[in-house]
Structure formats: C-alpha cells, structure tokens
Amino acid sequence: MAQWTFIDPNTLLPGDPWTSAKAQAAFENLEAVIKSAPGAPRPVTLDSYFAQGGSNLLSGLGPGSIELPANFFFGSFGVGVTTSTSFQSNDQLTITERATGTLRFQASQTARRTSTGGAGSEIRLLRNGVTIQSWTLGIPSTETTVSETRVVDLPASAGNVFEWQIRCINVFGNNPGVALGTTRPRADDTVENFGLWAKRSEVV
C-alpha cells in the first residue's frame, strides 16, 4: 500500500525545484488517501463536515422532486388519522443550516363516507406557528374515500419549523375519521455519499 508523505507547502513556492521525491510523494499520496494509509487525511462524513465548520452544502435550493436527506432537518412528517374537529398535529420538522432555499411540501388529504356517517377534512401547513396555506375536501356523495394531493413551494431557512395539521369538518353520524399523509420536503438538488472501495487487508 502506498505511504502518505507530507509535502511542505513552503517547498512548493514559485521558483522551487520540482524534484522526483515531490513527484513520487504526490503520486503515492492520492492512493494513500483512498486507502486510508496512516497519517493520510480521511474523507469526512456529513456530520463531521458541519462539526468542523463546513459551509452550507445546499444553499439556494429550488422546488423539485428530490426528497431531502433526513439529516438536513430535525423531526419528521408522518401519516396521521383523526376523528377530531379540532386541528391535530401531524408531526413537525425544523430545517437545519445544511439546506436553505425554496422547498416543496407535499401531502395527501382524504375525506370519507361510510354507511353510518362521514366527514370532510381540512389540512393546513404552518411555518413557525403561522398558517401558510390550508385546503378543504368535502365528503364524498357515496360510501367511499376520496383523496387529493396538495403541493406548496415555500422559502425555508435555518431554524424554520414546518408543521402539517388535520381536522374533520362537516361531520355527521358515526365519524369514520380522515387521514393526512406527508412526505419529506423536496428540492431540485441533494447530496450523495460516494464511498471509496479498497481491499480490507489494505485498509488500516
């Protein structure tokens, strides 16, 4: 396995000779980094990147179809069902400093009717406790469940808290409840972890 050799930047100034030792070290150092040779710099994980003061990887995002990785926010969105006529939280998430820009928020909304009752639904998306947009869905005319997909693009910055809420409206009879399903925020770009492969016997 190639050995890591430190090359003093002070020996790489304009006018300094480019020696065979420097060339050999530069050639071997690339392999040494890939194979994690003793003393060689190690590729950092996303968490250690930010722990070391790394800059915002995803700044200036635009709305798109790519789900953001879970480590770009705290919390999560889930799937919720309620029979309440008061708004119920369907989880919330906080955007971290790792991603800022315009994010796409998407949710599925349902309303239901059964032989014993029915309920329409109202959902809303809040940012920092303030309602940004809401949608209502009426009770179907027959025994069935209807659904609609709701999409909204919103600017987001570090510390913003987004929350989906749901409630029943126009309830009659035995309320069958309504559902709200959500996805991670989406954007036009994301990050990927490109792993480096090497023989186990060559990795320290």
Average pLDDT rounded to a whole number, residues 6-10: 87
pLDDT tens for each residue of 12-50: 888 888 889 888 988 888 888 777 788 887 665 666 565
Average pLDDT rounded to a whole number, residues 86-93: 92
pTM: 0.72
Distance between CA atoms of residues 46 and 58, nearest Å: 12
Token pair of 133 as six digits: 């947009």
Q: Which helix (H) or strand (E) holds 150?
A: strand 144-156
Look-up of token digits 């036009």: 188
pLDDT at 181: 94
pLDDT confidence tier of residue 58, bands split at 50, 70 and 90:
confident
Is 72 strand, coil or helix? helix
CA 10 to chain centre: 42
Higher pLDDT, 97 or 198: 97
DSSP-derived secondary structure letter, 21: H
DSSP-derived secondary structure letter, 51: H
What is the CATH code of the structural domain delimited by 59-187?
Answer: 2.60.120
Phi, psi of 189 (to 5 degrees): -155, 165
DSSP-derived secondary structure letter, 69: P
pLDDT tens for each residue of 135-184: 999 999 999 999 999 999 999 988 999 999 999 999 999 999 999 999 99
Domain ranges of the chain: 1-43, 59-187
Which residues, 6 or more positions from 75, have their beta carbon under 8 angstroms from its beta carbon?
91, 92, 93, 94
Q: Which helix (H) or strand (E) holds 26?
A: helix 20-34
Is 14 strand, coil or helix? coil
Distance between CA atoms of residues 17 and 101, nearest Å: 47
pLDDT at 188: 92
pLDDT at 200: 66
Q: Among 6-10, 52-56, 158-162, where is mean pLDDT lowest?
A: 52-56
Q: 87 with 127: CB under 8 angstroms?
A: no
Token pair of 201 as six digits: 């016997």
CA distances to 53, 119, 182 from 175, in Å: 52, 6, 22
Phi, psi of 181 (to 5 degrees): -115, 140
Phi, psi of 27 (to 5 degrees): -65, -45
